[in-house]
């Protein structure tokens, strides 16, 4: 593939990491950040310490806090801003975009007010514009250091998903394509809810048994809602489903898990968010997932209890008791998808 000019919008951990990946692939990367202080720090030290500790940003990555200048002349616009900021950024840049510029989103979440996936927000704001979603089990801390990472590229059009696959792939960053944009986006968004719950479990001092149950039943909840919203069930068995859930529920790189741990240990939400110092997507996504479960009449008991902890001030231990004392069930009731079980 020829060298591309890529505008990366957002210099958080993932935006910075992907800038390094793209730079190593020979692309011309322009990295935009809102903060003038952050810009000065990276230019002075070569590091983005708050978001990507002790990782050097290559000198060949061009830095700016002028959004319009950053995207001008770029072949690709990569959105790496928090979910709730995506629409604002799109409104700022859409008059400057050309129809040939491909938009890639790498954030994972649902817009709180509309409950829309990010590709739907992009479609609302930009119309019929080339749009690709990149998702999967991928910690910035590892990808930025050249550790093996595998993700999924999805789009309404196969050619754009394959374009992004080619653009990112190298000997440590492998990209698969998947036609199920709904499932890929929902898997990447909703796993943050379960990871927050896994963190609470850890913070309460519970063990591997509890976490295994949360992850197993959690992916079932995600798949159940995903199917109701038009996703392909097989997607949730792949990288953007169970793969992303595993990495987010088990790693201390996960800010959602770390936030849950602090809540489980008795910290307030204010103390927790101050200590994490970055956006915890799972908190807002929990609200959206809970409301979607009610809209689609889908049973999501883990999500409901996490919602109760966040938004109804239920004590985490009490939420666990509610989960464990639900009516007794046959595990196959859900797996059988309505088939009559003869046992």
Cα separation, 238 vs 219, whole angstroms: 11
User: 1: closest CA among 28, 41, 35?
Assistant: 28
Tokens 């990555």 sit at which residue? Answer: 61
Answer yes or no: 191 catalytic: yes
Catalytic choice (191, 312, 328, 329)? 191
DSSP assignments along 58-91, one per residue: PTTSEEES-HHHHHTT-SEEEE-S-GGGHHHHHH
Tokens 């998702």 sit at which residue? Answer: 135
Cα separation, 28 vs 4, whole angstroms: 6
**DSSP-derived pairing of the beta strands 5-9 and 149-155:** unpaired
| Element (DSSP H or E) covering residue 211 | helix 208-228
User: 97: closest CA among 134, 129, 64?
Assistant: 129
> Which residues are annotated as catalytic?
191
């Amino acid at each position: 593939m020829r060298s591309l000019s890529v505008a990366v919008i957002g210099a958080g951990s993932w935006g910075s990491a992907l800038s390094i990946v793209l730079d190593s692939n020979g692309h011309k990367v322009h990295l935009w950040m809102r903060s003038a202080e952050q810009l000065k720090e990276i230019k002075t030290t070569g590091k983005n310490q708050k978001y990507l500790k002790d990782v050097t940003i290559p000198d060949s990555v061009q830095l700016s806090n002028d959004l319009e200048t950053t995207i001008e002349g770029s072949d690709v616009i990569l959105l790496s801003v928090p979910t709730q900021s995506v629409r604002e950024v799109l409104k700022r840049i859409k008059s400057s975009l050309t129809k040939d510029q491909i938009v890639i989103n790498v954030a994972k979440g649902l817009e709180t007010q509309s409950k829309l996936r990010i590709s739907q927000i992009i479609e609302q704001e930009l119309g019929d514009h080339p749009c690709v979603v990149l998702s999967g089990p991928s910690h910035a801390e590892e990808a930025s250091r050249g550790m093996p990472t595998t993700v999924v590229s999805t789009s309404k059009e196969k050619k754009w998903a394959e374009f992004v696959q080619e653009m990112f792939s190298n000997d440590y960053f492998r990209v698969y394509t998947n036609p199920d944009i709904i499932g890929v986006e929902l898997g990447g968004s909703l796993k943050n809810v379960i990871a927050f719950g896994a963190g609470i479990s850890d913070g309460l001092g519970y063990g591997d048994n509890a976490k295994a149950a949360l992850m197993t039943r959690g992916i079932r909840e995600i798949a159940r809602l995903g199917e109701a919203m038009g996703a392909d069930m097989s997607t949730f068995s792949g990288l953007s489903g169970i793969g992303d859930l595993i990495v987010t529920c088990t790693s201390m790189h996960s800010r959602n898990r770390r936030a849950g741990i602090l809540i489980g240990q008795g910290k307030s939400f204010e103390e927790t968010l101050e200590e994490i110092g970055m956006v915890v997507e799972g908190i807002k996504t929990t609200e959206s997932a809970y409301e979607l479960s009610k809209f689609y009449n889908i049973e999501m008991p883990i999500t409901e209890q996490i919602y109760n902890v966040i938004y109804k001030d239920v004590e985490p231990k009490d939420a666990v008791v509610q989960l464990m004392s639900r009516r007794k069930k046959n595990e196959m009731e859900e797996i059988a998808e309505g088939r009559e079980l003869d046992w």
